[in-house]
C-alpha cells in the first residue's frame, strides 16, 4: 500500500459502499490560478486526500476551478483517476437566462455535461443538487440526478444545503427510482450549528453520510482573529464573504476562550475545531478549503489528535452557549473510534 493511504483515515459514507477520506479538498476561490491549484492538489494527494470537490460556478470566473483541476488531472494524476473521488454540483447561477440556475432537469443535465468537459473526464463520482429549489417539483430534480447515474455520467448522487423536510422527501423519491442518495453536504462548525438537530438526523435516518464545509467558519476558528481583524485578513476585504461586522468583541472573547482550551490540549484552535466536528460519527468527511499547501498539512494533523474528554466537551458547550445563549446543545452523546497515530506532519 502506498504511504499516502497509511497517512489518511477513510470513513464509510452513510450506508453506501463508498469510503471518503477524513479530509476532502474543496476547489472554490482557491483554484482560480493553475499553479496554485496544482500545489494544493498534489499536497492533498500526497497526504491521502482522494476526494476533490467542485461546483459548476466555482472560480472566479465561474468554471475555472473545474478547468484547472481538469488540467492537473491530465498532466499529473491521469494514471490515478480510479483512485480519486471527484464531485461537482449544480444549483446556483451559472449562466444568464431561465435555464442557468436552480433545480430543473434542463439546468442540471446541461450543467453536468459542461462540467465533464471542463474536468476532461467521462464521469464524476458524486453529482449534487447544490440547493433545494422550492419552485421545481422535487421529482424532476431527483429524476435528473437519477438520469445522470443511469447514463454513466455520475456514480453517486447527493444533496447540498437541503432543509430536513426536503431531505426526507428527496430520499424517498430516489429510493423509488432505485438510486439512493448517499451524501449530504452542509455548512457546519462550532459557530454555525443550525443543522445540528433536524438536518443531521434526517440525513442519517435516510442512510446518507454528512460532509461538512466551512469547518473553520471561513477562518474565524483559527488564530487570525484572536486580537480583532488584521489588516491582511479576509474580513478586512469588503468584497469578502466574511464581513467585518461579524467580528464582534463578544466573538473575539469566545475565540480566545476556545483557543485557551485548545492550547491546554496541545493543539491549535483550528485543529480543535476540526476535531470537534469529527466527534460526531455521522460525519463522513470534512471539506476543507486552503490557499496554501501548509494549511492542508496543518489540517491533516487533526488525525493525530486525542479524542475529547466529557469534561472538555462540557467546557466547549459552555463557551459556545455564552455566544449563542438560545442555541440548543447537541443532545445525543456521540463518539468515534480513536484514529491510529499517523506520520502526518503536525502544525
Cα–Cα distance for residue pair 325/184, rounded to 1 Å: 28
Give the percent of the chain with pLDDT over 90.
Answer: 84
Owner of C-alpha cell 461579524: 246
Q: What is the pLDDT of residue 232?
A: 58
Alpha helices by DSSP H, listed for the chain, are 3-7, 34-46, 64-76, 105-119, 138-150, 164-176, 198-205, 249-264, 269-278, 293-300, 310-323
**CA-based nearest residue to 255, from 276, 238, 270:** 270
Cα–Cα distance for residue pair 298/274, rounded to 1 Å: 11
Give the model confidence (pLDDT) of 274-333 as tens digits: 999 999 999 999 999 999 999 999 999 999 999 999 999 999 999 999 987 654 444 333
Cα–Cα distance for residue pair 126/240, rounded to 1 Å: 28
Cα–Cα distance for residue pair 305/255, rounded to 1 Å: 20
Instruction: Tell me the Cα Rg of the chain.
Output: 20
State pTM to two decimals.
Answer: 0.90
pLDDT at 243 over 60: no
Give the model confidence (pLDDT) of 40-71 as tens digits: 999 999 999 999 999 999 999 999 999 999 99
Q: What is the pLDDT of residue 338?
A: 36
Q: Are 130 and 53 in contact (CB under 8 A)?
A: no
Q: What is the pLDDT of residue 198?
A: 97
Q: Is 54 left (phi over 0), alpha (psi -120 to 50) or beta?
A: beta
Q: What is the pLDDT of residue 228?
A: 78
Cα–Cα distance for residue pair 132/182, rounded to 1 Å: 16
Structural domains in the chain? 3-323 (3.20.20.100)
pLDDT at 230 over 60: yes
Owner of C-alpha cell 496543518: 298
Half-sphere CA count of 19, side-chain side, radius 13 A: 10
Owner of C-alpha cell 424532476: 140
SS3 160: strand
Q: What is the pLDDT of residue 325?
A: 67
- pLDDT bucket at 80, cuts 50 / 70 / 90: very high
Q: What is the pLDDT of residue 235?
A: 53
* Grid cell at residue 343: 506520520
Cα–Cα distance for residue pair 219/217, rounded to 1 Å: 5
Cα–Cα distance for residue pair 154/128, rounded to 1 Å: 10
Give the model confidence (pLDDT) of 171-187 as tens digits: 999 999 999 999 999 99
Amino acid at each position: 500500500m502506498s504511504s499516502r493511504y497509511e497517512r489518511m483515515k477513510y470513513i464509510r459514507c452513510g450506508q453506501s459502499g463508498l469510503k471518503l477520506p477524513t479530509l476532502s479538498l474543496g476547489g472554490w476561490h482557491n483554484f482560480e490560478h493553475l499553479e496554485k491549484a496544482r500545489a494544493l492538489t498534489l499536497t492533498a494527494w500526497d497526504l491521502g486526500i482522494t476526494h476533490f470537490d467542485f461546483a459548476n460556478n466555482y472560480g472566479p470566473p465561474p468554471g475555472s476551478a473545474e478547468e484547472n483541476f481538469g488540467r492537473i488531472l491530465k498532466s499529473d494524476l491521469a494514471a490515478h483517476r480510479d483512485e480519486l473521488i471527484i464531485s461537482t454540483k449544480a444549483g446556483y447561477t451559472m449562466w444568464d437566462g431561465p435555464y442557468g440556475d436552480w433545480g430543473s432537469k434542463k439546468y442540471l443535465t446541461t450543467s453536468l455535461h459542461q462540467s465533464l468537459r471542463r474536468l476532461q473526464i467521462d464521469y464524476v463520482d458524486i453529482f449534487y443538487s447544490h440547493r433545494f429549489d422550492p419552485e421545481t417539483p422535487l421529482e424532476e430534480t431527483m429524476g435528473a440526478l437519477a438520469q445522470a447515474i443511469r447514463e454513466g455520467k455520475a456514480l453517486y448522487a447527493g444533496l447540498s444545503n437541503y432543509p430536513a423536510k426536503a431531505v426526507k422527501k428527496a430520499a424517498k423519491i430516489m429510493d423509488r427510482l432505485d438510486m439512493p442518495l448517499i451524501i449530504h453536504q452542509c455548512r457546519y462548525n462550532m459557530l454555525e450549528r443550525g443543522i445540528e438537530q433536524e438536518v443531521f438526523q434526517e440525513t442519517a435516518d435516510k442512510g446518507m453520510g454528512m460532509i461538512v464545509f466551512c469547518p473553520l467558519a471561513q477562518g474565524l476558528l483559527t488564530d487570525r482573529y484572536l486580537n480583532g481583524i488584521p489588516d491582511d485578513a479576509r474580513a478586512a476585504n469588503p468584497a469578502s464573504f466574511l464581513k467585518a461586522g461579524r467580528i464582534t468583541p463578544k466573538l473575539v472573547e469566545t475565540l480566545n476562550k476556545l483557543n485557551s482550551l485548545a492550547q491546554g490540549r496541545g493543539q491549535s484552535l483550528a485543529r480543535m475545531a476540526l476535531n470537534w466536528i469529527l466527534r460526531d460519527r455521522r460525519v463522513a468527511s470534512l471539506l476543507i478549503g486552503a490557499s496554501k499547501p501548509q494549511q492542508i498539512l496543518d489540517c491533516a494533523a487533526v488525525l493525530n489528535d486525542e479524542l475529547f474528554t466529557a469534561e472538555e466537551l462540557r467546557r466547549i458547550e459552555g463557551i459556545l452557549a455564552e455566544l449563542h445563549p438560545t442555541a440548543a446543545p447537541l443532545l445525543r452523546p456521540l463518539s468515534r473510534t480513536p484514529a491510529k497515530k499517523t506520520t502526518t506532519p503536525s502544525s
